Structures are given as structure tokens and as C-alpha cells.
């Protein structure tokens, strides 16, 4: 795409109310626009990156056999009365009889009840990527805690706790694959009441000073929620590898829960077993904050000049900067697009300084500069955003260079 065509505007000044790196950089880079506290619009650049996160999540959900549905945001209040959750503080209730969905157990359970009746219909898992509404008392940190935000929520249905347990483990593995593909190292932490709660649940968290939670962790992957630790014995060394444990604030980017029969009981969702006897359906639920993930990626991957997007999340894969060599730059853009790459070509009538600054802010992983100077040697300057490493390569080698960068399995 030609950048002169793109609907965006960068801003070199920090927004006055930006309270976090992601709010600052995503706003300045022209990815998002704040509408009010905890509510953002996604501009073309932001939506491209958000859609890439969604795409990765969809692929991994489909891999574990979950099937995508779309439930409404506007939901009937009576469903929430049935589970005793009609009066929670965070719920927006536009009218007396409606609730804006802040979670979807109340919708998915009756939906599954209508679909699955016999033991032969199980197991099943339904998921959606959908907007959630929560009247968060402390909406803050850009995309990290919104009042309207995008979530992936999945719900699984089983004929036994054992079957649920097996699926739960598969889901946890899918979660690790999602975070890795997003360029994030996530730790799986026992949550809820931990050892005091009867149903298992885990949070997936990423180390970041912007996080609201605190975890005790070890590089090897062991991690615990700090609150849970202080309740029981204080641990100093990792029980898995004996290294000294560290402590850090962290961002919760997802969680998985054993719901047991809480919701299936509330909606009298039963199935008939091989002997025709009615049995309880066992449920699990699995959430990921999709828009929070974009915020987290910006928190983890940036420097003072802008975002450094992981390969799979960048709004475009290649950024060509034309320093008054628009024709050649456009030829290279078209060639790379024919090879299947997503290319943004800065053909705007702007100074080189402005083009470099904007490219740093937007954070596309590879930048190719075409100028009179590089063309004099039939070459281009190629720079990796993540490392700052720069190469001068012959024009003819650009496609191979880009291809090699993107076929390398590392996500950053
Ligand atoms: P938190 O403790 O951060 O409030 P939660 O326990 O309320 O999260 P869930 O209701 O299970 O979270 O939601 C699933 C996922 O959705 C969370 O793991 C998180 O990544 C994301 N999420 C939750 N609340 C918000 C929010 N207000 N804004 C953005 N993402 C959110
Ligand atoms: Mg919450």
C-alpha cells in the first residue's frame, strides 16, 4: 500500500493523558484513538495488528477443535438472574431487561443445551472473538484495562471431569503457542483461590512493569501468584530447578478455568448417558484479552522512539521509505506484494527526517530505504527495527532478503 493513501496521522507529542507506554505509542503511531476513559477506536494500522492477533488465536483454537460462533453483546437480563449474576457492579444495563455482555456463560450455556443432548454430542468447544463491556472502576493503561475491549472466550462441554481435564491441558498448550507467536513469553500461574479453591484455574501472565499483578517466577517457567505464595509457605528457590526465584509485576493476558457444573446446573443442562440416565455437563472456560494483548505487545516491544513489532503482529511486513525515488520504490513495493508480502511504501511528500521518525514509531520489522545515494550503487539500505542492524544489499536481492527474514521461525 502507498502510505499517501493510508488513513493515519502520527504525532510527535505525547498525548497529555497517556498513562502507559502502550497508550502513548499506539496513539502517537496512529493505531488507536481514545474516545473516553477505557474506550478506544482502532484506526487502520491498529485494526491490522489487532486482526493479526485474532488470526493467530483463531488458528490455535481451531487446532484444538474449538468452533467459532458469535454471541450478541446485548443479552437478556433473565439469563443473568438465573445464575445470580444480574447485579454485579461491572455490568452495564442499558435497559431494565438487558445486560451488555461482560462474559458469556449466560448465553453459551443455553446455546449448548439446545445443541448437545446425548453423550454422543460431547465433547464440544465453542469460542468467539467479541467485544466485552465492563464498567471497570479503574479503566487505565491504554488497551490494558478498558471498559469496552476485545476478548476471545471459549467454553468447553464434557461428559466427565476426566474428559475436561484432558482438554484443559490441550488448551493450555494452545495458549502457550498463541503467546509465543505474538512474541511474548507467558508464564502459567495457578490462580483463583489456588490450593484453597476446589476447581482448578490458571492465569497466563507476561512480565512487565505496566502490569497490575505481581508474580514470583523462575526463568525455567515456574511461576506463582504473589498473593497465593504469602498465604502459604514463602518460597525462595524454584522447586523445579533450585534457582533463586524472582519477583515482578505482570500483565494477565489470559486465563483458563474449570467451571465444573456451576452453569450447567443453573440452566439444567444435562445429557443422557449410554443407559439413558441424565447426567451433569462439566464445563471449562478459556479467556484471552485480545486488545489487551496488543497493548502488552507494545509494552514489551518498544524503545523511546516507537514500537518494535514482532513479525506476526506488525501492521505491514515491510516498510519502504522512498527518499524522492518514488518510481523505483513503487516497483519494489509491487514486486514484494506479488511475492505475497504486506508492504507499506512511504511515498509521501515529507522530509527524510519525518519519514524515519514515523517509521520508528510505527515499528514495522524491516525498513528498506531507497534514495539517490543507494540507487547510485543499485542497492538499498535495509534495517531491522528490532535490533537496529543495517545492511546495504543489491536491489535484486531484496525479495530473497525479505523472504529469509520471514521464513526464519523466530517471532521477533
Ligand atoms: P483482570 O483480573 O485483569 O480484571 P479478569 O479476571 O477480570 O481480568 P476475565 O474476566 O477472565 O479476566 O477475562 C479474560 C481475559 O480478558 C483476561 O485474562 C484479560 O486478558 C482480559 N481482560 C479482562 N478484563 C479486561 C479489561 N477491562 N480490558 C482489557 N482486557 C481485559
Ligand atoms: Mg476483571
Q: What global pTM score does this model have?
A: 0.97
What's the CA gap between 403 and 340, in Å, rounded?
10
User: 13-36 pLDDT, tens per residue?
Assistant: 999 999 999 999 999 999 999 999
Cα of 40 to ligand 1 centre, how many Å? 16
Q: Which of 197, 252, 298 to mutate to test the pocket of ligand 1 (most atoms within 8 A of CB)?
A: 252
Ligand 1 centroid, distance to 65 Cα (angstroms): 24
Of the candidate ranges 161-170, 196-205, 317-326, 380-389, the one whose mean pLDDT is the lowest:
196-205
Give the mean pLDDT of 147-164: 98
- Helix 290-300 vs helix 21-28: angle between axes, to the nearest 10 degrees? 90
- Residue 394: beta bridge partners? 379
Of all protein residues, whose CA lies closest to atom 21 belonging to ligand 1?
289
What is the per-residue pLDDT across 370-388, written as a single tens digit (0 to 9) for each? 999 999 999 999 999 999 9
Residues 6+ apart with CB under 8 A from 258: 164, 168, 199, 200, 201, 284
Res. 234 pLDDT band, cuts 50 70 90: confident
For residue 288, give the ligand 1 atom closest to its CA: 15
Residue-wise pLDDT for 76-87, tens only, equals 999 999 999 999
> Please, is 130 exposed, middle or buried when counting C-beta atoms within 10 Å of its C-beta (0-12, 13-18, 19+)?
middle
The pLDDT assigned to 300 comes to 98
Nearest CA to ligand 1 atom 18: 254
Instruction: Decide if pLDDT at 405 tops 90.
Output: yes
Ligand 1: residues with CB < 6 A are 103, 134, 136, 145-146, 149, 151, 252-255, 287-289, 291-292
| Range of weakest confidence among 62-71, 229-238, 300-309 | 229-238
Nearest ligand, measured from the Cα of 206: 1
Distance CA 159, CA 194 (A): 25
pLDDT-derived band at 117 (thresholds 50, 70, 90) equals very high
Confidence (pLDDT) at 228: 74
- What's the gap in Å between 186 CA and the centre of ligand 2? 19
The pLDDT value given to residue 227: 78
Q: What is the mean pLDDT of residues 322-342?
A: 98
212 CA → ligand 2 middle, Å: 11
Amino acid at each position: 500500500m502507498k502510505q499517501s493513501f493510508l488513513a493515519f496521522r502520527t504525532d510527535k507529542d505525547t498525548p497529555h493523558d497517556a498513562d502507559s507506554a502502550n497508550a502513548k505509542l499506539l496513539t502517537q503511531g496512529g493505531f488507536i484513538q481514545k474516545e473516553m476513559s477505557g474506550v478506544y477506536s482502532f484506526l487502520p494500522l491498529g485494526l491490522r495488528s489487532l486482526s493479526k492477533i485474532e488470526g493467530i488465536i483463531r488458528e490455535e483454537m481451531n487446532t484444538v477443535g474449538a468452533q467459532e460462533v458469535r454471541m450478541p453483546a446485548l443479552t437478556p437480563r433473565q439469563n443473568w438472574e438465573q445464575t445470580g449474576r444480574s447485579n454485579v457492579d461491572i455490568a452495564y444495563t442499558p435497559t431494565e431487561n438487558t445486560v451488555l455482555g461482560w462474559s458469556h456463560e449466560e448465553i453459551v450455556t443455553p446455546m449448548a443445551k439446545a445443541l448437545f443432548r446425548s453423550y454422543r454430542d460431547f465433547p464440544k468447544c465453542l469460542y468467539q472473538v467479541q467485544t466485552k463491556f465492563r464498567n471497570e472502576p479503574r479503566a487505565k493503561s491504554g488497551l490494558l484495562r478498558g471498559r469496552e475491549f476485545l476478548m476471545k472466550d471459549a467454553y468447553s462441554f464434557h461428559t466427565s471431569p476426566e474428559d475436561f481435564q484432558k482438554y484443559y491441558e490441550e488448551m493450555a498448550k494452545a495458549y502457550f503457542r498463541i503467546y509465543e507467536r505474538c512474541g511474548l513469553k507467558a508464564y502459567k500461574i495457578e490462580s483463583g483461590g489456588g490450593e484453597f479453591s476446589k476447581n482448578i484455574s490458571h492465569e497466563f501472565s507476561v512480565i512487565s512493569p505496566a502490569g497490575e499483578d505481581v508474580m514470583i517466577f523462575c526463568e525455567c517457567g515456574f511461576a506463582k501468584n504473589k498473593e497465593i505464595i504469602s498465604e502459604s509457605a514463602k518460597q525462595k528457590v524454584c522447586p523445579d530447578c533450585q534457582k533463586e526465584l524472582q519477583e515482578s509485576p505482570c500483565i494477565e493476558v489470559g486465563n483458563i478455568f474449570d467451571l465444573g457444573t456451576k452453569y450447567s446446573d443453573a440452566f439444567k443442562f444435562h445429557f443422557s448417558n449410554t443407559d439413558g440416565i441424565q447426567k451433569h455437563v462439566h464445563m471449562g472456560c478459556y479467556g484471552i484479552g485480545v486488545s489487551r494483548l496488543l497493548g502488552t505487545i507494545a509494552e514489551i516491544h518498544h524503545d523511546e522512539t516507537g514500537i518494535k513489532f514482532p513479525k506476526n503482529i506488525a501492521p505491514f511486513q515491510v516498510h519502504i521509505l522512498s527518499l524522492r525515488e518514488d518510481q523505483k520504490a513503487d516497483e519494489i513495493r509491487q514486486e514484494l506484494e506479488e511475492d505475497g508480502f504486506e508492504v507499506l511504501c512511504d511515498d509521501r511528500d515529507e522530509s527524510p527526517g519525518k519519514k524515519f521518525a514515523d517509521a520508528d514509531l510505527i515499528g514495522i520489522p524491516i525498513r528498506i530505504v531507497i534514495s539517490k545515494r543507494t540507487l547510485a550503487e543499485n542497492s538499498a539500505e535495509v534495517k531491522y527495527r528490532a535490533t537496529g542492524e543495517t545492511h546495504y544489499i543489491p536491489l535484486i536481492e531484496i525479495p530473497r532478503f525479505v523472504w529469509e527474514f520471514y521464513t526464519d521461525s523466530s517471532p521477533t
